[in-house]
Chain A
Amino acid sequence: MDIQILMPALSPTMEEGKLAKWLVKEGDEVHSGDVLAEIETDKATMEFEAVDEGKIGKILVPEGTEGVKVNQPIAVLLSEDDGQGNGHDIPSAMQSIRDAVAAEAVGVKPSPASAAPVSASATRATVVAQARSPSSMSEDRWHAQHCVFASPLAKRLAAQAGIDIAAVKGSGPRGRVVKTDIEEARHMGGVAARPLQKIEGSAPHAAGQKTEALGVMPLPDARLFYRPDSYQEVPHDSIRKAIARRLTSAKVLIPHYYLTIDCRIDALLAARARLNGQAPKGDGAYKLSVNDFIVKASALALMRVPEVNASWTDTAILRHRHADVGVAVALDFGLITPIVFAAEAKGLVAISAEIKSLAERARAKRLKPQEYEGGSFAVSNLGMFGIKDFTAVINPPQAAILAVGASESRAIVRNDKIEIADIMTVTLSCDHRVIDGATGARFLQAFRLFIEDPATMLL
């Protein structure tokens, strides 16, 4: 079987180059490692080595040609056992596997349509298969990183159940995904094994084609930029994979915009101090945090501006009846957003106790999927780290998330006089498909009202 030699990408960013010089001619026998040609880019001239062996059948691009696109066939290699050699199907098989994997990385289903002139996935594959620049990754390492280590039966079961096997943690020897892992994943239905179609959740079902049309291509593998001995590899666990997948989908597919507002929280802090001061000892003890007030205020603001308490679908916006407020909890191994359901109907002490219990169980990995899936809104608070303000990525199927900064004493101007006030800056990330700018602003106004005058939460 003939092998097409493709224009290599000699650096992760290279898109085209000059075929400076051929060092072989038609009819030459080449072996793996032989230098085939010199390739020139705007940055350097590099030698291009053969990976496969065989005879140069035809040179397709004469030397001296400028602007040769990466992945354009530049020569044809005839394999030696022509006619028989199924062995040489391996590169093409590998190629299709890589295409599939690379495509999956951005949620693109492999399809004939992805065979654009400079197909994103092919770029990466070519970098690996063809270029032998000093920083290129070995086949083995590429393999180790991208191949799913699973038994044949597990693969078939996962496919049948629509489970993304790459997100399943393997319990077999050396972490191999085996039958019981898939059965467990199917049983649990948790983050680690959300069925593929569900992962895309509120995202448009034709996401693949859309990203392709936008020319989104996967980023080059970071290993390409570093010497192998200059870093330590920390393999992804399933939660890391889930975070990467969900947040990438969310940030790419949801049109985010951000609204920031300052809230004066002197009254809230005073109320909090008063309430905590009255907390009983022992049974019924509580210690309210600022965040508990924020969750409560968010829930009430969501009731007041129900357009924000919503989810996008292809055919309709879902307006949620309750304010199910997710609270981002940082874990040693990632983060998770357990949900305080119907927070609008709960008192501060109940909310406080619930968040505490959810966070504890999250850290112990004891949460049930129904405790962190869904939700209608989320709060992410980095105030305890002294972060003044930040923006958060929306956690689908929700349509908004509130990023809460630190409360701090700031100088403010009031009645033409400088005053010291406790201020907290919050930023709302909105899904523009669901929430228009003015709607988002109305929500923040309502939120600020509750926060600045906590007694109004009682109304």
Chain B
Amino acid sequence: MTESYDVIVIGSGPAGYVCAIRAAQLGLKTAIVERDRLGGICLNWGCIPTKALLRTSEIWHLMHRLDEFGFRAENIAFDIAKIVERSRKVAQRLSNGVAFLMKKHKIAVIPGEAKLSAAGAITVTKDGNSTDYAAKNVVLATGARARSFPGLEPDGDLVWTYREAMIPKAFPKSLLIVGSGAIGIEFASFYRTLGAEVTVVEVLDRVLPVEDAEISQLALKAFTKQGMKIEVSTTVEKLEKGNDSVTAMLKGKDGKLETVTAERAILAVGIVGNVENIGLENLGVKVDKTHVVVNEWGETGIQGLYAIGDLVGPPWLAHKGMHEGVIVAERIAGVKGVHPLDTAKVPACTYCWPQVASIGLTEAQAEASGRQIKVGRFPFIGNGKAIALGEPDGLVKTVFDADTGELLGAHMIGAEVTELIEGYSIARTLEATEADLAAAVFPHPTLSEAMHESVLDADKRALHI
């Protein structure tokens, strides 16, 4: 007999497993289908293992400043195999953690590839054996993968995606990174800090192009100072593979061609949704540019079929997917007072060095919206804790509606800003105005004081600058 569930989630990345947990919490009989490892890309091949790598590079960076902090050491060296091993262990541990959470919430984990044959009917194939399942509700959370272009295809050997970049067998002396979004820049930061010659190619006119232009500018300055070669407004015309190297023909804004040779290349030019082979075409699910089209409730338009996470619209961030997972589970369970996710309230973090974090509108977007705005800026140089940490390079920028005091956006670059942005996220969700943020007490000495000062600066009343 076909086993049936209230909810079957396809894909166990952060959107999927969180959705499953919430559904189970709400008393729904829930199963989750995973073809690979629990936790999806985020835990196994994305957010988490890269953070482990970046921790390593951060320590390496500090080890080169030992003298500044009063240490002396010689013959400092790293072992790339051990670095990768640690990263994999971290990922494994978290994947096990998800397995534990599934068990704790009595969620059935079904290994294999899922395919919808009809609304509410799923066939899961594992090692050639197929099993049918029925579900009142199906939540698609199959995620996304690296995008490639003709002529710019990864081969797993010389031309990498994030996946190979995370587990190098040997440390490449030189790297060409195509794309300067969060993924490209994080790898650039990791490899550059450990000593690789890194060239980053960005088709748009600035690095981290979704960030506020001023933050991009500061990031560019910091990366260049670290010795990265950054080519903006540049396209890769040709990528030729050599014996143990790749040679790229780059075309700059002025049309000038330049060749760059590096041991390896990393493609980080965006993602495409995993929409294939899950039976979407059988059901007539709308797909737009490899992403499933849904309404604000994750509904596909087919009764009982939802989609969340990277499979649907941007921003393609784990925490956005998790939030959608909760919303969809609560909608299915009929929880009252559920609100759609306001993506303007989703913060974004890039864990390069220095870190970048932001939420809401950039200054340019805020201006373009036709509002009267006021902008506050506070550099880390005026922050005691930043100086004590030895991290005086950073900026906190806040953008307010001048009339209503609404915090429209916040943009930060500097040490630990990925941990700080949440303060502004709470402020935005609770709809705090500049007056409320100014009235809030920030502990001294902390980096967070710069957040306070930035708000004060928007009213020309910053105290430490």
Q: Are B436 and A160 in contact (CB under 8 A)?
A: no
Q: How far is the CB of A72 from chain B (nearest CB, A)?
A: 35
Q: Decide if the interface of chain B is mainly helix, strand, loop or mixed.
A: loop
Q: How far is the CB of B331 from chain A (nearest CB, A)?
A: 16
Q: Are B431 and A154 in contact (CB under 8 A)?
A: yes
Contacting residues of chain A (130-157) with chain B, CB-CB under 8 angstroms: 151-154, 156-157
| A173 and B405 alpha carbons, distance in the complex (Å) | 21
Q: Which of A153, A156, A179 has the most CB of B within 10 A?
A: A153
Q: Are B403 and A151 in contact (CB under 8 A)?
A: no
Contacting residues of chain B (416-430) with chain A, CB-CB under 8 angstroms: 430
Interface size class of B (residues with CB under 8 A): 10 to 19
What chain A residues lie within 8 Å of B433 (beta carbons)? 152-153, 156
A278 within 8 A of B: no
A171 within 8 A of B: yes
Q: How far is the CB of B364 from chain A (nearest CB, A)?
A: 22
B339 within 8 A of A: yes
Q: How far is the CB of B399 from chain A (nearest CB, A)?
A: 14
What chain A residues lie within 8 Å of B404 (beta carbons)? 153, 156-157, 160
A392 within 8 A of B: no
| A153 and B337 alpha carbons, distance in the complex (Å) | 20
| A172 and B432 alpha carbons, distance in the complex (Å) | 14
What chain A residues lie within 8 Å of B436 (beta carbons)? 152
A178 within 8 A of B: yes
Q: Are A152 and B339 in contact (CB under 8 A)?
A: no
What chain B residues lie within 8 Å of A157 (beta carbons)? 404
Q: Are B403 and A153 in contact (CB under 8 A)?
A: no
25 CB < 8 A contacts A-B:
A151-B430, A151-B431, A151-B432, A152-B430, A152-B432, A152-B435, A152-B436, A153-B404, A153-B405, A153-B406, A153-B431, A153-B432, A153-B433, A154-B431, A156-B404, A156-B405, A157-B404, A160-B403, A160-B404, A171-B339, A172-B339, A173-B337, A174-B337, A179-B406, A179-B431
CB 8 Å contact bits of A168-191 with B (1 = contact, 0 = none): 000111100011000000000000
| A174 and B337 alpha carbons, distance in the complex (Å) | 8
Given contacts A153-B405, A172-B339, 8 further A-B contacts (CB under 8 A): A151-B430, A151-B432, A152-B405, A152-B431, A153-B406, A156-B404, A160-B404, A178-B431
Spell out A's residues near B (CB within 8 Å). 151-154, 156-157, 160, 171-174, 178-179
What chain B residues lie within 8 Å of A152 (beta carbons)? 405, 430-433, 435-436
> Total A-B pairs in contact (CB under 8 Å)?
30
Q: Which 6 A-B pairs have the closest CB atoms?
A: A151-B431, A153-B431, A152-B436, A152-B433, A153-B406, A153-B433
| A178 and B404 alpha carbons, distance in the complex (Å) | 13
| A171 and B340 alpha carbons, distance in the complex (Å) | 12
Q: How far is the CB of A303 from chain B (nearest CB, A)?
A: 48
Q: Decide if the interface of chain A is mainly helix, strand, loop or mixed.
A: helix
What chain A residues lie within 8 Å of B430 (beta carbons)? 151-152
What chain A residues lie within 8 Å of B405 (beta carbons)? 152-153, 156
What chain B residues lie within 8 Å of A151 (beta carbons)? 430-432
What chain B residues lie within 8 Å of A156 (beta carbons)? 404-405, 433
What chain A residues lie within 8 Å of B337 (beta carbons)? 173-174
CB 8 Å contact bits of B397-423 with A (1 = contact, 0 = none): 000000111100000000000000000
Chain B residue with Cβ nearest A179: B431
Chain B residue with Cβ nearest A173: B337
What chain B residues lie within 8 Å of A174 (beta carbons)? 337
CB 8 Å contact bits of B175-188 with A (1 = contact, 0 = none): 00000000000000
Q: How far is the CB of B57 from chain A (nearest CB, A)?
A: 40
Q: How far is the CB of A150 from chain B (nearest CB, A)?
A: 9
What chain B residues lie within 8 Å of A171 (beta carbons)? 339
Chain A residue with Cβ nearest B428: A153
| A373 and B435 alpha carbons, distance in the complex (Å) | 37
Q: How far is the CB of A219 from chain B (nearest CB, A)?
A: 33
Chain B residue with Cβ nearest A178: B431
Q: Which of B404, B405, B432 has the most CB of A within 10 A?
A: B404
Q: Which of A151, A152, A154, A174 has the most CB of B within 10 A?
A: A152
| A179 and B337 alpha carbons, distance in the complex (Å) | 16
What chain A residues lie within 8 Å of B431 (beta carbons)? 151-154, 178-179
Chain A residue with Cβ nearest B405: A156
Chain B residue with Cβ nearest A154: B431
Q: How far is the CB of A380 from chain B (nearest CB, A)?
A: 35
What chain A residues lie within 8 Å of B403 (beta carbons)? 160
Q: How far is the CB of B374 from chain A (nearest CB, A)?
A: 14
| A178 and B406 alpha carbons, distance in the complex (Å) | 12
| A388 and B43 alpha carbons, distance in the complex (Å) | 75
Q: How far is the CB of B184 from chain A (nearest CB, A)?
A: 35
